[in-house]
Amino acid sequence: MQNPFDFSQRTVLVTGAAQGFGRAICLAFSQRGAQVVACDIQKDRVDETAALCGARCIALESDISSPEAVSALFASLAARGISVDILVNNAGGVVGQKGQPLEDVTFEQWQAIVAVNLNGAFLMSQAAVGAMKQQKFGRIINISSGAGLGVSLTGIQAYASAKAGQIGLTRQLAHELGPWNITVNNVAPGFVRSNPSTEKQWEAMGSEGQKRHIDNVAMKRLGAAEDIAHAVLYFASDWANWVTGQVLSVDGGK
């Protein structure tokens, strides 16, 4: 039987690949033979990811919230003869913001979070889908958050809204793209200590807050970035050939 997790004939593009979930996803695909394109706005860090992944991984700097940058990214890939089979829209986050009362949020702060978490997923999917339609195969996997299904631990209104919007985009694109054998699915991680931003969030909870958080997790422990990567591998694999428009919560149980 063919290994459903053999990606040696696939090219995977991962955004937000400089650290955390993105780096773990790149490593998981690389270890299973894929050609990986690691993208991030942090050039030095994404270069580190590519070095960890090995010869079949290239690093490209790009701001996925910019239509012009996304167009340039895919033009660069086309010039290299690279066509994307699997797109993982992982880039996101709170862009350095903290929760504050609604009346204090500026429109610029709102826009900055929506731009990377929702607009970026839209722009990258839009750019990738033409080649996927031509080859009648594609996998788009969006990384949202438990905040998109409930409320955000950060209290940041734009983050919860953008992640919920990304889940809506997932479902809509699944129905639109299904006739071309393109699946669109979503992984909604729970809180994972995977990057400097989540480390600060963890520290801000304090010991009592940390205990309360873990007590609210069914498995009574935090997960790891690799847990998110494994869910992505499933959606990208042959085992998920008839799975689309779905949201998989990877959060230890709530």
- Helix/strand/coil for 125: helix
Give the Cα-Cα-Cα angle 196, 227, 153 (nearest 5 degrees).
50
Residue at 24 is within a domain: yes
Q: How confident is the model at residue 154 (pLDDT cuts 50, 70, 90)?
A: confident
Buried b (16+ CB within 10 A) or exposed e, 30-67: bebebbbbbbbbeeebbbbbbeebeeebbbbebbbbbe
Please give the average per-residue pLDDT across 67-75, as a whole number. Answer: 98
Note the pTM of the prediction, 2 decimals.
Answer: 0.96
Count the Cβ atoms, other than its own, within 10 Å of residue 142. 30
Looking at the 3D structure of the chain, how many domains does it have? 1
Report the chain's mean pLDDT, rounded to a whole number.
96
Residue at 116 is within a domain: yes
Residue at 26 is within a domain: yes
Q: For 239, how many CA atoms within 13 A lie in the half-sphere containing its CB?
A: 12
Please give the average per-residue pLDDT across 146-166, as a whole number. Answer: 93
Is residue 159 annotated as part of the catalytic site, yes or no? yes
Residue at 70 is within a domain: yes
Angle between helix axes 20-30 and 43-53 (nearest 10 degrees) is 30
Which residue range(s) make up the domain with 154? 11-194+225-243
Please give the average per-residue pLDDT across 139-148, as a whole number. Answer: 96
* Residues whose CB is less than 8 angstroms from the CB of residue 151 and which lie 6 or more positions away in sequence, other chains included: 160
Q: List, for residues 90-125, the tens digit of each pLDDT value.
A: 999 998 889 999 999 999 999 999 999 999 999 999
Residue at 254 is within a domain: no
Q: How far apart are CA 148 and CA 161, in angstroms?
A: 7
Choosing from 21, 122, 159, 235, which is the catalytic residue?
A: 159
Instruction: Say which CATH number the domain at 126 has.
Output: 3.40.50.720
